[in-house]
Amino acid sequence: MKTEVKQKIAFALIMGSITTGIVSFTLIAVNIGFSPAFLKIWLRSWGIGYLVAIPAILFIGPRIQALVNKL
């Protein structure tokens, strides 16, 4: 596998993890507050968000980059 492809995959995994973690934490905190079930709800939401974000970053990201390059 080429270095560039590995870098894009690594970027998607790291960026997806950080972004979904921050967004899910914030939304759960705002919507339900810090209840006793917070950690369980947050980790579940984070996992689901991560599974959605990674394919989006990998498949949609290059198309957006191409659009930006054209502009």
pLDDT single digits (tens) 37-61: 999 999 999 999 999 999 988 899 8
pTM: 0.78
Q: What is the pLDDT of residue 24?
A: 96
For the residues 12-24, what does the mean pLDDT come to?
Answer: 93
Name the region of 34 (left: φ>0; alpha: ψ -120 to 50; beta: rest). Answer: beta
SS3 percent helix, strand, coil of the chain, rounded to 5, is 90, 0, 10
Tell me how far apart the alpha carbons of residues 7 and 39 are, in angstroms, rounded to a whole number: 31
Counted residue by residue, the chain has a size of 71
**For residues 46 and 40, what is the distance between their CA atoms, to the nearest angstrom?**
10
